[in-house]
Amino acid sequence: MSKTYHLTAPLSEADVVQLGAGDIVYLTGVVYTARDAAHKKLIDLLDAGQPLPFDMNGAVIYFVGPTPPKPGDPIGSAGPTTSYRMDSYSPRLINEQGLKGMIGKGKRNQDVIDACVKSKAIYFGATGGAGALLARQIKSSEIVAYPELGPEAIRKLEVVDFPLTVIHDSFGADLYKIGRAQYEICS
């Protein structure tokens, strides 16, 4: 039975470990955006022993490349991108830098799931195809790194009641497997 939570980012370990696959979370606070090009740059900084452009400890990263905003809006359409493109980078950010949450769509590989279990992190799903609706929950957007990447620049977002579903929890549960098993039992 799924539960509903209202959490504030950055996230603590206590926030993460109470969540189970299938739970609904309304997230408020600071969320950073980053897609594959930005993730590569972050890993390059770590490899060079350089500081990251934001504090990753407890952070939540949204895998999104938003469209330009309409006049007066903080951001344009902001729907999730497919997460597996970040799979080669995410375990290091989780295990070494303290990343606590990721938002995207689609499956993650076993290394990401294992990192979530080891370091108590969470993978949230946001509804694909609903970028304009999700953007309504984003109250501000500021580029903090890599403006040359255009829509893929790292942004600091302020979100209010951003609707998410827990896909992979910090205990290894996988909503995609749970949902499929429930469907197979019913058919």
Tokens read off for 80: 């999730």
Phi-psi region of 83 (alpha: psi -120 to 50; beta: other; left: phi over 0): alpha
Closest CA to 134 of 23, 27, 16: 27
DSSP 98-153: ---EEEEBS---HHHHHHHHHHT-EEEE--TT-HHHHHTTEEEEEEEE-GGGGGGS
> DSSP code of 82?
B
- Annotated active-site residue 6? The verdict is no
* Among 35, 39, 100, 107, the one annotated catalytic: 39
Tokens read off for 16: 């993460």
The catalytic residues are: 39
